[in-house]
Each structure stands twice: as C-alpha cells, then as structure tokens.
Amino acid sequence: MANRTLWNNTKSLLVVLNYVDEAQLKAYRKSLDQILDKSHVKKLTIVVILPKDVDKSKLPPHFLIYYHSPADFSLWGKLKDVLLMQELEKKFDLLLWQGSRNHKIYDLIKNVSFSKKIGVNCTDLDYFDLEIVPHNTQPHFLLNYTIQTLDKIEIHE
C-alpha cells in the first residue's frame, strides 16, 4: 500500500510567511529547497508578507516568491499585483500559513481553494484544518518539524 500521508500526497503547496530580514528569508529558501528536493511537490508558491518600511524592489527576485506589502492594495482594497492575483486563483493541495492574520492578504488567501490548510504558530480554529506550534521558530527547525508532523498524518479519503 502506498504511503497515504498528508505530506506525501501534496503536489502543490502555498507557503505564506512574515518577512523578518534577508537572513531569515534566505534560511527559509534553503530549508524549503532541501525539503522539497525529497518531496512529491511539483508546484510551489511562496508569499512573503513585508512590513511597510521594507522596499520590495531591493529584495532578491525569485520566480517562486511574491513579495507582498500593504501598498499592494488599492484604496478600495483590491490587490494590485496581477501576477499574485492569478496565482491565488489556482487550487493548491496544501497551505502552510506562517504569516500574520492581521494582514489584508489573509482575507484573500481565505478565498483560495485548498485541500488542507495548516497554520504554523497561528491560531484560527475556524479556518485552519490543523495548527502546529513548534517550540523553535528557526526556519530550518520549523519547516522540518511541520513536514515531519504532516508526514505522520494518514489520509483516509
């Protein structure tokens, strides 16, 4: 019988995380690369929530990363980033939310179609299917702990 865990059956993944600094972002990218090299994930999208004072034009570009700041919304609350909007119209197997719920992008993400939604260090019992709270918030540990947890959850569908 094939391995029917939540992680093993994830083909498309959306990761949302808060930006702290470039070192933290680099650590997330490195950890995700290592994890995804050994996974079944074929499609990865990363949304990085930036604070107001960070200029996203100065951040290193990456074809999988959408940098998102409060300035990316119009006066009427519409997302200005057309590419990100197109990305959020797709269906994903899994959401790994590590961002702040106090950001406008949270409401947009809630309209995206996911098979499963995981909140990491974030509580919203009405939205997430599972909430994981690792004791260490370093990107490498946090991601590995989350993936190891998801790899223990069997799917019975």
Global pTM reads: 0.91
Reference 59, options 24, 26, 22, 31; nearest CA is: 22
**For residues 53 and 97, what is the distance between their CA atoms, to the nearest angstrom?**
22
If one compares 124 and 20, the residue with the highest pLDDT of the two is 20
Ordered structural domains, the chain, with CATH: 12-150 (3.40.50)
Q: Report pLDDT digits (tens) over 130-154.
A: 999 888 888 989 899 999 999 998 8
Three-state secondary structure readout of 109-125: HCCCEEEEEEEECCCCC
